[in-house]
Amino acid sequence: MSFVPYLSFNGQAREALTAYAQIFGATDLQLMAFSDAPPETAPPETAPPGTAPAGAAPAGAEKLIMHGQFSAGGSTLMAADMPGNPPDGMASPSVFHGAANAETAARVFAALSERGQIILPLGQTFWSPCFGMLKDRFGTTWMITLAA
């Protein structure tokens, strides 16, 4: 059994997933825009106001990401834009990343914190020789440490 983080964005999923894929060295970034959905997923004329089937894009949201994902280091990260239902500033749980070594942890931490906010600088703690927390420019909170 595995658990995969699924992040919600308000129009930034393409930019966020592209940045994350580059930071983590992924080569399999997949992005599906709402405009890529088959036409038969458009809401029927008889649908109650405000309802739409999965894949139907609200007006003006066609280029937003319906689903995106990439894999790196044996893990997968998924995300989507949630048009019409903006998330509460990414109030979801933090994403925890265990880096292979201190150099990788420092590189990832620096890249994610660019234009973001450092919550706890990367450094030694009583539970880890290398741990730090930050909120990136997309509003995602990250916990970076060394893999066990």
Q: What letter represents residue 118's amino acid?
A: I
Residue entry with tokens 């106001």: 49
- DSSP, collapsed to helix, strand or coil, labels residue 15 as helix
All residue ranges of the chain with pLDDT < 70 are: 1-2, 40-58, 84-93
Q: What is the pLDDT, as a whole number, of residue 46?
A: 47
pLDDT, tens digit, 9 for 90 and up, residues 54-70? 555 667 788 899 999 99
Q: pLDDT value at position 79?
A: 95
The pLDDT value given to residue 89? 55
Q: Give the model's pLDDT for residue 133.
A: 95
> Is the pTM for the entire model greater than 0.75?
yes
| Domains with residue ranges and CATH for the chain | 1-86 (no CATH), 93-148 (3.30.720.110)
Give 20-26's long-range contacts (Cβ < 8 A, gap of 24+).
Answer: 20/70, 20/77, 21/70, 21/72, 23/108, 23/111, 23/112, 24/70, 24/72, 24/73, 24/77, 24/97, 24/108, 25/72, 26/70, 26/71, 26/72
